[in-house]
Amino acid sequence: MSVFRNAGHLFRLAAVFVVGTVAFLVIRAAVVPRSFGEYGHYRGAAISEIASLPLHFAGHQTCETCHTDIAKMKSAGMHAHVNCEACHGPLEKHVKDPSIDPGKPDAAVLCVRCHAASAARPKWFPQVDPAQHSGGIACTTCHNPHNPVIAAGGSK
């Protein structure tokens, strides 16, 4: 056709682009996981993969099925909304096999994580200078961590 006379090089250039685009689409089809976009902008299969990972945390409801006394005490105190495993760590192994003793948390380290005085914490939040407050004595000597306010009957 006369319109396309002497325009062969442009077709060659177009062919390079077409080959490039096709190569991109082929690579994309091969590389992008099949389940991508199944539920959203992520790999759908990732959900079942994550679900099949071993559990570490049991959840406070599981703890409360056996430790009803502690659950009752805790629900009446300031720590009512602190989850068991926030202090005790992951307990799924203990749930599977109750003979496994998860051990008691080290109160000297644990309590000050939240209650050491800091200007960044809200004023209403109970906070102390540990050295001045207890002089190195473990917090649990006086406080029951499951209901820590002494005046509220939470003393040991």
Partner 1 sequence: MPGVEGYMYPNEVSLYWSVLIVLYPYITGLVAGAFILASLERIFHVEAVKPTYRLALLTALAFLLVAPLPLQLHLGHPERSYEMYLTPHRTSAMAMFGFVYLWYLMAVLVVEIWLDFRADIVALSQTTTGWRRLMYRILTLGSTDVSERALHIDERVGWFVTLIGIPSAFLLHGYVGFIFGSIKANPWWSSPLMPVVFIFSAMVSGIAAVMLVYMAMMRLRREPIDMRCVDKIAQYMMYIFVIDFSLEMLDLVHRIYEADESFRSLNFMVHTKLWFSQVILQICIGTIVPISLIALVQIVKFSEKWRKAIYVVSGSLTLIGVLAMRWNVVIGGQLFSKSFLGYTTYKIALVTREGLLVSIGLMILPLVILAVLVKILPPWPEKSAVSLPAPSVGD
Beta strands in 30-149 (DSSP E): none
**Going by C-beta distance under 8 Å and a sequence separation of 6 or more, which residues neighbour residue 37?**
44
- For position 32 contacting partner 1 by CB under 8 A, the verdict is yes
- For position 36 contacting partner 1 by CB under 8 A, the verdict is yes
- For position 118 contacting partner 1 by CB under 8 A, the verdict is no
- For position 6 contacting partner 1 by CB under 8 A, the verdict is yes
Hunting for tokens 């079942």 — which residue is that?
A: 48
Please compute, for residue 11, the number of CA atoms within 13 A of its CA located in the half-sphere on the CB side. 6
CB 59 within 8 A of CB 53: no
**Segment contacting partner 1 by CB under 8 A, of 21-29, 86-94, 97-105, 106-114:** 21-29
Beta-bridge mates of residue 43: 36
Question: With respect to partner 1, which residue has the nearer C-beta, 7 or 137?
Answer: 7
- For position 10 contacting partner 1 by CB under 8 A, the verdict is yes
x/- site string to partner 1, residues 91 to 110, per CB under 8 A?
--------------------
34 residue type, one letter: R
- For position 24 contacting partner 1 by CB under 8 A, the verdict is yes
Beta-bridge mates of residue 36: 43
Residue numbers of the site for partner 1 (CB under 8 A)? 5-10, 12-13, 16-17, 20, 24, 27-28, 31-32, 36-37, 41
